[in-house]
A and B are shown apart, each in its own frame.
Chain A
């Protein structure tokens, strides 16, 4: 595991020095910090709902961009710059390299979420005058959503070019956010034929369900209550971990056969 953690550490060190990622983080921090200023626009929905949903929206968007931008070029850049040759010519197995890259990416996401979370908590406390535990739960869910997205991007990066990966990962993220509600809609509609419904059902099962992590809805719409919030949290995080593990195994198998 020494090698895996060494690679993870190097990946983290490099990622947190990437200007583009830092710019995204700084912009997100700035927007979160000034979010209380939007309170007058809350109209009838309440300041709490506005500030929290706005903050979560910014955090989710930043997390998504960071995960995609960071992981798309992670392996291709190492090959292009030949750094990977100095690593794989050491007693490092290819699976250790993939795991190291992923753990480094997750570490970076953790750092970014920590920064955004701290600022979000400060901003919300300033605006709302109290600490809302929903924020921590939300941050945890979005962190796992971004980690799952990072695993998707890393998986694609083992066999497609960065440009194709942007579109593929972006597409999977979009579909993973929309498919479950789309499936619900067409299941309620008796006019939809099985020819339309079955492919959607199949895709909903195969593609990662990113919508489960979107916790804004219960916060924005407090009338939609979860019966057991902890169970939902555990179940969703468990789903993310299992899906990430499957993606990593697939990535390792593909990368093991890859010629560089």
Chain B
């Protein structure tokens, strides 16, 4: 069994309208590998090509150039769809159906026969916490309940790979946490999750690796901890004499001194103790020492704005 769940090789999707002069590359030469068992965050601003890539992976649209493989098979192979699942952004399910009926409908698409079908539907309703609302029409469901039923339909076939597009968008904090926990739970069961999201704090918390797409081109790829390395510690001190500034500056930090108040942004590399020692030796008082970790949001903004300025 291949250890790669998703692989794209020079994947390009070009749109050229009937009347438009210039064809547009929604995705351009995308080379991506998602490993089995990981949670992979697929990020990018609106129009970056995330949904286009997902549609190619599902065989809903076809690549213009390049190749895409899902679980070792060419993307879009319906036989492969027994092992994958997809939750689109803001999905609409037939709202006249009840939670139980919609899950039964999706189970039928997989050809799951009775009594296994009812057993699985009941298990899933229980798992997503909708057992009590199972026989209510979906039109009476809240956004959070709709998203839970969406996740339940994703699990009806016990998939190896789940592709989730904005799974936590528009949810209240409680529903948000519930869905996030379910995602982590799925990872613990050995599932591969490919998540496209704008909820960067969620991605940072749950994903093992991320890729950032901008204007159809992949501009970042790596493990979260590697990409977010490079935070700093801010040291604020008072009554620091001028002659203490130079030795602190030599430690490599960003230093500013106004009326005896010193602010140091020191790279988190073990030199913070030296800064504190120098301040104290010079007769200054340490007011605060605060670590600042680089966030995925910082990285995202730097990456995208860097791309715009380029």
Contact = CB atoms under 8 A, between A and B. Distances in A.
A14 B93 CA distance: 11
Given A83-B91, A85-B60, A90-B109, 7 more contacts: A17-B96, A82-B88, A85-B91, A86-B93, A89-B84, A90-B110, A91-B81
A-side binding surface: helix, strand, loop or mixed? helix
Interface in A70-88: 81-83, 85-88
A260 B150 CA distance: 20
6 contacts: A82-B89, A86-B86, A89-B84, A91-B109, A92-B78, A92-B81
A145 to B, nearest CB: 28
Contact of A13 (B78, B86, B96): B96
Contacts of A88: 58-60
Interface residues of A, number: 24
Contact of B110 (A17, A81, A91): A91
B97 interface: yes
Contact of A86 (B78, B82, B91): B91
Contacts of A17: 96
A6 interface: yes
B106 A82 contact: no
A184 B270 CA distance: 97
Interface string A82-115: 1101111111110000000000000000000000
Interface in A6-30: 6-7, 9-10, 13-14, 17
Nearest to A17: B96
Interface of A: 2-3, 5-7, 9-10, 13-14, 17, 81-83, 85-93, 259-260
A5 B111 CA distance: 11
B108 A86 contact: no
Contact of B82 (A81, A83, A91, A260): A91
Nearest to B102: A10
A137 B195 CA distance: 57
A87 B153 CA distance: 10
B292 interface: no
A121 B54 CA distance: 54
Contact of A85 (B58, B106, B111): B58
B177 interface: no
Contact of B88 (A2, A6, A85, A91): A85
Contacts of A83: 91-94
Contact of B111 (A3, A13, A81, A260): A3
A89 B90 contact: no
A7 B97 CA distance: 13
Contacts of B153: 86
B300 interface: no
Contact of B97 (A5, A13, A90): A13
Contacts of A89: 58, 60, 81, 84-86, 163
B109 A260 contact: no
B61 interface: yes
Contacts of A91: 78-79, 81-82, 109-111
Given A14-B96, A90-B109, A260-B60, A82 B81 contact: no
A22 to B, nearest CB: 13
B194 to A, nearest CB: 12
B141 interface: no
Contacts of B85: 89
Most buried by B among A2, A9, A86, A260: A86
A82 B109 contact: no
Nearest to A84: B60
A88 B163 CA distance: 13
Contacts of A260: 55, 60-61
B109 A85 contact: no
A85 B86 contact: yes
